[in-house]
A and B are shown apart, each in its own frame.
Chain A
Amino acid sequence: MAGPPVVDRRTTATRLAALSVAVVAGFCALAVAFWYFQVVENATYVRMAENNHLRKLSLRAPRGVLFDRSGTLLVENRDAFTISILREHSADLDQTIRRLSAAAGVDEQQVRETIRRHRGEPSYRPIVVIDDATLAQVSAVLARRLPFELPGVVVERVPTRRYPAVGLGAHVLGYVGEVGEAQMAADGLRSGSVVGQSGVERAYNKMLMGADGERRVMVNSVGQEITTLDEVPASEGRRVKLTIDYELQQAAEDAFRGLGYEGAAVFLDPRSGEVLALVSLPAYDPNDFATGIDRVTWSQLNTDRLRPLQNRAIQGRYSPGSTFKAVVAVAALEEGVITADFTVTCRGGASFYGRFFKCHLKGGHGTVDLRHAIEKSCNTYFYTIGNMVGVDRINKWAAALGLVGRTGIDLPNESESLVPSTAWKKARTGEKWYAGETISVAIGQGQVSVTPMALASLYAAVGSGGVHYQPHLLKATDDGGGWKDAVLPAPRGVRLKPETVAALHDGLWLVVNGAGTGGRARVSGRDVSGKTGTAQVISLQGAKQAAGRTEMDLRDHGWFAFFAPRDNPEIAGVVFAEHGEHGSNAAPIARHVIETYFAKRAGIRPLPVFTPPAVPAAPAAEPLAPLAGAAGR
Chain B
Amino acid sequence: MFERRLYFHMDWLLLGAVYLLCAIGVAMIYSASGGSRLYLTQLAAIALGSVALLICLGLDYRSLADRSHLIYGFIVLLLVYVLIFGVVRGGGRRWISLPLFNLQPSEFMKIGLALVLAQLFGDSRRRTPSTRELAIGGGLTALPLLLIARQPDLGTAATLVPVLLAVAFVAGMRLKVAGILLALAVVAAPVVWTVGLQEYQKGRVLTFINPSRDPLGAGYQQIQARITVGAGGLWGKGFMQGTQGQQGFLPVAHNDFIFSVLAEEHGFAGVLAVLGLYAFVVLRTIETARLARDRLGTLLVIGALASFTFQVFYNVSMSAGLAPVKGLTLPLMSYGGSSVIATLAGIGLILNVRMRRFTN
Contact = CB atoms under 8 A, between A and B. Distances in A.
Interface of A: 3-8, 11-13, 15-16, 19-20, 23-24, 26-27, 30-31, 33-35, 37-39, 41-42, 44-46, 48-49, 52-53, 91, 218-222, 226
Residue in B129, B227, B244, B263 with the greatest tally of chain A CB atoms within 10 Å: B227
B344 interface: no
26 contacts: A4-B128, A4-B130, A6-B125, A7-B126, A7-B128, A12-B170, A12-B295, A19-B169, A27-B275, A27-B279, A30-B313, A31-B271, A34-B229, A34-B275, A37-B229, A38-B229, A38-B233, A41-B230, A42-B234, A45-B227, A45-B231, A48-B230, A52-B244, A53-B247, A221-B248, A221-B249
Given A34-B320, A39-B234, A6 B247 contact: no
Contacts of A16: 170, 286, 289-290, 298, 302
Contacts of A27: 275, 278-279
B302 to A, nearest CB: 8
Contacts of A44: 230
B316 to A, nearest CB: 5
Contact of B170 (A15, A46, A220, A222): A15
Interface residues of B, number: 50
Nearest to A48: B227
Contacts of B222: none
B309 interface: yes
Given A7-B172, A12-B170, A219 B286 contact: no
B127 A6 contact: yes
Interface string B265-282: 001100110010011001
B336 interface: no
A49 B233 contact: no
Contacts of B278: 27
A19 B290 CA distance: 11
Contacts of B295: 12
A271 to B, nearest CB: 66
Nearest to A4: B128
Given A24-B279, A46-B231, A222-B248, 5 more contacts: A4-B129, A7-B127, A34-B275, A53-B247, A220-B249
Contacts of B272: 31, 34
B166 interface: yes
A19 to B, nearest CB: 6
Contact of B267 (A5, A38, A226): A38
A38 B316 CA distance: 14
Kindly list the 3 A-B residue pairs having the minimum CB-CB distance in the complex, ordered from nearest.
Answer: A45-B230, A4-B128, A7-B172
A37 B226 CA distance: 8
B313 A4 contact: no
B275 to A, nearest CB: 6
B128 A23 contact: no
B332 interface: no
Contact of A221 (B129, B232, B247, B271): B247
A24 B284 CA distance: 12
B322 interface: yes
Interface in B14-65: none
Interface in B206-236: 216, 224, 226-234
Given A219-B247, A221-B247, A30 B316 contact: yes
A39 B269 CA distance: 10
A42 B171 CA distance: 44
A25 to B, nearest CB: 11
Given A7-B171, A53-B249, A35 B268 contact: yes
B102 interface: no
A380 to B, nearest CB: 85
A3 B127 contact: yes
Nearest to A91: B216
Contacts of B70: none
A24 B227 CA distance: 26
Contacts of A6: 125-127
A7 B121 CA distance: 12
A33 B320 contact: yes
Contacts of A23: 279, 282-283, 286, 309
B243 interface: yes
B275 A30 contact: yes
B317 interface: yes
Given A3-B130, A91-B216, A39 B268 contact: yes
A91 B248 CA distance: 14
Interface string B154-196: 0000000000001001111010000000000000000000000
Interface string B300-320: 001000000100010011001
Contacts of B271: 31, 34, 38
A52 B249 contact: yes
A42 B234 CA distance: 8
B139 to A, nearest CB: 19
Contacts of B248: 220-222
A124 to B, nearest CB: 13
Contacts of A3: 127, 130
Contacts of B244: 49, 52-53
Nearest to A35: B268
Contact of B286 (A19, A34, A35): A19
A45 B172 contact: no
B34 to A, nearest CB: 10
Contacts of B267: 38
A38 B234 contact: yes
Residue in A4, A39, A42, A53 with the greatest tally of chain B CB atoms within 10 Å: A4
B249 A20 contact: no
Contacts of B249: 52-53, 220-221
A45 B226 contact: yes
B128 to A, nearest CB: 4
A49 B232 CA distance: 10
A221 B223 CA distance: 14
A220 B248 CA distance: 6
Contacts of A34: 229, 263, 268, 271-272, 275, 320
Contacts of B243: 49, 52-53, 218
Residue in A11, A16, A91 with the greatest tally of chain B CB atoms within 10 Å: A16
A316 B224 CA distance: 61
A38 B319 CA distance: 13
A42 B230 contact: yes
Nearest to A51: B227
B24 to A, nearest CB: 16
B187 to A, nearest CB: 24
Nearest to A49: B231
A120 B248 CA distance: 27
B122 to A, nearest CB: 11
Nearest to A45: B230
Contacts of A38: 229-230, 232-234, 263, 267-268, 271
A37 B169 contact: no
Contacts of B169: 15, 19
Given A15-B172, A23-B309, A49 B228 contact: yes
A542 B232 CA distance: 79
Nearest to B217: A91
Nearest to A222: B248
Given A8-B126, A23-B282, A13 B171 contact: no
A16 B298 CA distance: 10
B222 to A, nearest CB: 13
A532 to B, nearest CB: 73
A20 B125 CA distance: 25
A121 to B, nearest CB: 16
Contacts of A37: 226, 229-230, 320
A471 to B, nearest CB: 58
A27 B276 CA distance: 8
A26 B313 CA distance: 8
B167 to A, nearest CB: 11
B112 to A, nearest CB: 22
Nearest to B269: A38
Contacts of A42: 230-234
A24 B283 contact: yes
B118 to A, nearest CB: 13
